[in-house]
Amino acid sequence: MERVDLTIIGGGPVGLFASFYAGMRGMSVRIIDSLPELGGQLLALYPEKYVYDMPGFPKVLAKDLAAGLAEQGTQFAPQVVLDETAMGLEEEGEGYTVIGASGERYPTRTLIVSAGAGAFSPTRLGLPNEADFEGKGLYYSVRSKAEFAGKKLAIVGGGDSAFDWALNLHPVAREIVIVHRRDQFRAHEETIRAVKQLGVELKLWKTVVELHGNGNLLGTTLEDTQSKERERFDCDAVIVNIGFKSSLGPIKEWGLTMEKNQIVVDPLYRTNRPGVFAVGDVCTHDGKLKLIATGVGEAVTAVCVAKTLIDPAAKLFPGHSSEML
């Protein structure tokens, strides 16, 4: 891996804006995120909610805001490493090396930690043999629709992700059944209506209590959450969409000064380690507000300070974008 000027840990709204701004300042950038998609909390936690406090947008759907930020944040072609959790940080040469959960090493001159509440990972079903079937019929996200072509699918969950994937996979799958533990859904009403109109079967008041197979998943046992009656349900794949958990875990071991699970920064968003900045929800300082509008401002300052570290001749204030692009 080549050494970049700036590595950004976390491709949420704040990290994405940091990436855009660093690109505009001519820096080489790498974004690392543990999720399979850029967007952070906007996509993982509330894609169908409206956000009302973005400058210039009286209201905007979180997933649309995420898409705009991802487009802007990748405008200068940063290296984007998804499905990778930053585990370790070593001082090395003219900066640091970030060590990923995959074992890959990512050399960098400076670092911005915009890790929010920590690395997101999907909530699992909690069954003893679950790990045996991961990637072999049991999935927590959809990378490629083609993988599910012609298959009978059970989609577990009652939120936006479950219903969105039912809609998206309907044209390719042989059959789709939604399995949900209640009869109420958190998904957007319009999506629920569209899924019902397609004739997707809803198995309500049911949870998956067993997974069956011989190497690959062949089926499940579903239990009625009220009567506790069990039924065997055979299918080719189970896609679990029951939320995400987040954990700052490894970042807490990086020798950064922490206060209540947040990284302490000075007014220039510098941490106690030289060349390492923290912005967005993960950082704390006097007057800290956990908002996107303030987080992206923090990102701009951190990027400009990082720029002057790498190139001492560079000005802190870059000028106006309207005169730069």
Ligand X SMILES: Cc1cc2nc3c(=O)[nH]c(=O)nc-3n(C[C@H](O)[C@H](O)[C@H](O)COP(=O)(O)OP(=O)(O)OC[C@H]3O[C@@H](n4cnc5c(N)ncnc54)[C@H](O)[C@@H]3O)c2cc1C
Site for ligand X in 142-161 (CB under 6 A): none
| Contact flag: residue 253 with ligand X (CB under 6 A) | no
CB of 275 vs ligand X, minimal distance in Å: 18
CB of 243 vs ligand X, minimal distance in Å: 12
Which pairing describes strands 230-234 and 217-224: parallel, antiparallel, or unpaired? Answer: antiparallel
Gap between the Cα atoms of 196 and 183, Å rounded: 13
Residues in contact with ligand X, shown as a per-residue x/- string from 90 to 119 under the rule CB under 6 A = ------------------------xxxxxx
| Contact flag: residue 10 with ligand X (CB under 6 A) | yes
Distances (CA, A) of 95 to 126, 174, 274, 298, 306: 40, 52, 9, 22, 12
Distances (CA, A) of 64 to 39, 42, 72, 74, 161: 10, 9, 12, 15, 15
Residue entry with tokens 């040469």: 93
CB of 66 vs ligand X, minimal distance in Å: 9
- Which of 27, 86, 192, 239 is close enough to bind ligand X by CB under 6 A? 86
Gap between the Cα atoms of 208 and 212, Å rounded: 11
Query: Residues 51, 57: contact at Cβ < 8 Å?
Result: yes
How many alpha carbons fall within 13 Å on the CB side of residue 149? 4
Site for ligand X in 24-53 (CB under 6 A): 32-35, 40-42, 45-46, 49, 51, 53
CB of 120 vs ligand X, minimal distance in Å: 4
Gap between the Cα atoms of 275 and 95, Å rounded: 7
CB of 106 vs ligand X, minimal distance in Å: 11
Distances (CA, A) of 24 to 17, 19, 125, 298, 314: 11, 9, 43, 16, 13
Q: Which is nearer to ligand X, 82 or 194 (CB)?
A: 82
| Contact flag: residue 74 with ligand X (CB under 6 A) | no
- Which of 156, 192, 292, 306 is close enough to bind ligand X by CB under 6 A? 292
CB of 58 vs ligand X, minimal distance in Å: 13
Residues in binding contact with ligand X, number by CB under 6 A: 37
Site residues (vs ligand X, CB under 6 A): 9-15, 32-35, 40-42, 45-46, 49, 51, 53, 85-86, 114-120, 250-251, 280-281, 290-293, 295
